[in-house]
Amino acid sequence: MLYATSTESTDDREEEHSMNEAITTEAPIYELRRVTRSYGSGTTKVDAVRDIDLTIDRGEFIAVVGPSGSGKTTLLQLLGGLDRPTSGEVVFEGRSLATLKESELTQLRLGTIGFVFQQFNLILTLSAAQNIELALAPSGLTASLRRARVTELLGSVGLASRGHHLPSELSGGEQQRVAIGRALANAPDVLLADEPTGNLDSTTGDEIIAVLHQLNREQNQTIVVITHDPYVAAAAPRIVRLHDGAVVDADGSRVLEVVS
């Protein structure tokens, strides 16, 4: 067996490790700076999101809550690069999303951002495993590596024995687990979930939140859950509240900066 050698001193390696650890610890995955997203103009202008300052650290699990029309979905679209702010800046991993071309945003969404929606959006004629494998098609992995990755993902969402089943043969909770596995296919840096329990009963919804917690705890997966359900929100270590497009405190008063 051959062993790699290095002339780098132990002190140098320890210093480099400390620097990398500091960067990982200190650099947030998201920084939103006075972000506003407006629709219409003049008397019909609506600020769906207004003057939001928000920092999300790597490895966080947060819930964004608020009533219908509060701007939750607009915020998720901005975080996911599906929309651009009218003013302000959304910085993801040190890059301003406003500076990226559409092709770059597409690659960003494919490779580093995973999406889970209220609707499962599974292809009904494909099995659970095939639905997940389809997300790996652009990766360039060989068939054997894709299958290995699918097996790993099915296990991580508790469906190791259900991969060959069609969506119609799965419960709603199982279908959402498949959707989560699909969203994780390309090992995204962040998982954005828009009302992931909205089509589920409370018990099944609790199971889905437990899956997300497990991914966050065991894999340090950054997760942002958009929800109007106070029970879902209560399960998150950190809650961001929106009202009329702005971030507010628990009592409804406006805040300028959201902190853990």
Q: What is the tens place of the pLDDT at every residue in 80-131?
A: 999 999 999 999 999 999 999 999 999 898 889 999 999 999 999 999 999 9
Closest CA to 101 of 58, 32, 115, 109: 109
- Judge contact between 154 and 128, C-beta under 8 A: yes
Could you tell me the pLDDT band of residue 249, with boundaries at 50, 70 and 90? confident
Domain range annotation of the chain: 59-83+102-248
Residue 17 has pLDDT above 60, yes or no: no
pLDDT of residue 5: 40
Which residues touch 256 (CB under 8 Å, ≥6 apart)?
51, 53, 247
Could you tell me the pLDDT band of residue 255, with boundaries at 50, 70 and 90? low
Domain 59-83+102-248 has CATH 3.40.50.300: yes
pLDDT of residue 140: 84
pLDDT digits (tens, 9 = 90+) for 184-243: 999 999 999 999 999 999 999 999 999 999 999 999 999 999 998 888 899 899 999 999
- pTM of the full structure: 0.84
